[in-house]
């Protein structure tokens, strides 16, 4: 693994092999612009481009580095975005002296991670949430339907999904207002209105569309990776009591559209090549358009912690992205098989990622089994769902030997809506 002349701490999420992309502003420059991160050092790619670092990349758009989102940069295509990544790795490789020894420019391009403001990295036109973890779907089916027939008849045949609300996707660190809506209390004869009492997280990964298909043009599983720019951590907050009352017959609405949280660094698909692995055997056999070849799943360790206000955090979930039944290329192929056109920056989320063991369940709904088994917190309190003042922290990384590619974290603090006013 290539080393960098930038100091990188052991077990950093952001070695030279990673080079994720994000959008920053700083105290000395309030204009949003592209950046990457190596170790704990954020690198201003707008300034680096202005110095001529990428001028030898044919066809590159200089204006894409000075933008409020990654969309224009991504739209240039993987030929250019991968060339930029390789050039960054070259410039900051341990034996490359061009920038290392030119200390006069370091203050123009380098920032401490703690000194930058990270923004929502993409302009999201459309958002689709899938439901692709077999264990999660099984757990929900056991809880709410017949345990002997936990999976609905279509689940093993199609990557089930729904269209969510893009406007309420926020960057990590944004406070989340506890949502209100209708809910039907147990034993009641009519619904009541009020704040959700069963607020939950959902541990997910999201992939970002990096190439457009025409309306009417399906994307095959063989082509799908060309259309996926990269991945990020995703918390699809869920108000279980609101959702339970509204979701029949048309599915999630107010129980889901109030907020979802996205991590600020987008890790490219290419950075994750070493962590591919085979997926589960799919029985019954899928229809031909969902068949794929090669290793379509990824070994990415995931964890969720809850931190009460002014309290000690506790890890409540440890799962893995490999626990998916349907993978990303199948999801995208299914999404477009009817001719649906995808656009640059569209976001597709995996759905809750649950494993086979109780500690790997990716939501409080499952971890506490609808509140029947509360989680004990370090301060002596218990959690059935998420309380006001709680911060949910999700982290993820892939590791093989000394090579570690991480995603940083996605966080969100629950704030009482009336208090916030």
Q: How far apart are CA 378 and CA 375, in angstroms?
A: 10
Least confident interval from 96-100, 106-110, 389-393:
96-100
Binned at pLDDT 50, 70 and 90, residue 180 comes out as: very high
Q: How far apart are CA 281 and CA 132, in angstroms?
A: 14
Q: What is the largest CA-CA distance in the chain?
A: 74
Contact (Cβ atoms closer than 8 angstroms) between residue 261 and residue 413: no
Binned at pLDDT 50, 70 and 90, residue 139 comes out as: very high
Catalytic residue among 68, 136, 157, 334: 136
Binned at pLDDT 50, 70 and 90, residue 417 comes out as: confident
Residues 6+ apart with CB under 8 A from 124: 166, 169, 345, 346, 347
**401 in the Ramachandran plot: left (φ > 0), alpha (ψ -120 to 50) or beta?**
left
Report, as an integer, the average pLDDT of 70-98: 96
Residue ranges of E strands in 40-104: 41-44
Average pLDDT, the chain: 96
In terms of pLDDT, which residue wins out, 420 or 322? 322
For residues 363, 366, 367, 369, the Cα torsion angle rounded to the nearest 10 degrees is 140
Residues facing residue 21 across a β-bridge: 266
pTM of the predicted structure, to 2 decimals: 0.97
Question: Other CB atoms closer than 10 Å to residue 345's CB: what's the count?
Answer: 23
Q: How far apart are CA 333 and CA 346, in angstroms?
A: 15
The pLDDT, as a whole number, for residue 419 is 60
Report, as an integer, the average pLDDT of 322-349: 98
Q: Is residue 136 among the annotated active site residues?
A: yes
pLDDT of 173 > 80? The answer is yes
The pLDDT, as a whole number, for residue 421 is 47
Report, as an integer, the average pLDDT of 354-369: 98
Residues facing residue 349 across a β-bridge: 129, 206
Report, as an integer, the average pLDDT of 260-275: 98
């Amino acid at each position: 693994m290539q080393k960098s002349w930038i100091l990188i701490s052991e077990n950093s999420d952001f070695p030279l092999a990673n080079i994720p992309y994000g959008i920053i502003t700083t105290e000395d420059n309030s204009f949003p612009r592209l950046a990457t991160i190596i170790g704990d050092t954020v690198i201003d790619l707008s300034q680096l481009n202005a110095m001529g670092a990428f001028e030898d990349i044919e066809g590159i758009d200089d204006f894409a580095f000075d933008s409020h989102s990654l969309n224009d940069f991504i739209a240039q295509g993987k030929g250019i975005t991968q060339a930029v990544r390789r050039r960054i790795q070259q410039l900051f490789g341990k034996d490359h002296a061009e920038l290392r020894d030119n200390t006069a420019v370091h203050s123009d391009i380098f920032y401490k991670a703690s000194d930058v403001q990270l923004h929502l990295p993409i302009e999201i036109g459309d958002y689709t949430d899938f439901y692709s973890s077999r264990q999660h779907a099984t757990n929900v089916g056991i809880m709410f339907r017949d345990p002997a027939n936990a999976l609905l008849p279509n689940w093993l045949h199609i990557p089930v999904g729904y269209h969510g609300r893009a406007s309420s996707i926020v960057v990590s660190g944004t406070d989340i207002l506890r949502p209100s809506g209708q809910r039907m209390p147990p034993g009641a004869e009519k619904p009541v209105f009020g704040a959700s009492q069963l607020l939950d997280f959902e541990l997910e990964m999201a992939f970002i569309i990096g190439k457009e298909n025409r309306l009417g043009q399906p994307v095959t599983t063989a082509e799908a990776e060309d259309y996926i720019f990269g991945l990020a951590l995703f918390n699809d907050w869920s108000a279980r009591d609101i959702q339970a009352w509204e979701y029949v017959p048309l599915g999630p609405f107010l129980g889901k559209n109030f907020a979802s949280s996205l991590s600020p660094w987008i890790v490219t698909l290419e950075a994750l090549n070493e962590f591919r692995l085979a997926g589960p055997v799919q029985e019954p056999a899928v229809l031909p358009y969902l068949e794929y070849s090669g290793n379509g799943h990824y070994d990415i360790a995931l964890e969720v912690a809850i931190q009460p206000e002014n309290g000690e955090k506790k890890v409540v979930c440890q799962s893995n992205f490999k626990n998916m039944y349907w993978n990303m290329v199948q999801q995208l192929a299914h999404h477009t098989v009817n001719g649906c056109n995808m656009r640059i920056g569209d976001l597709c989320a995996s759905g809750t990622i649950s494993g086979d063991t109780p500690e790997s369940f990716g939501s409080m709904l499952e971890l506490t089994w609808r509140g029947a088994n509360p989680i004990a917190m370090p301060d002596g309190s218990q959690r059935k769902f998420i309380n006001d003042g709680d911060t949910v922290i999700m982290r993820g990384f892939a590791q093989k030997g000394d090579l570690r590619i991480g995603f940083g974290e996605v966080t969100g603090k629950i704030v009482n809506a009336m208090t916030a006013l």
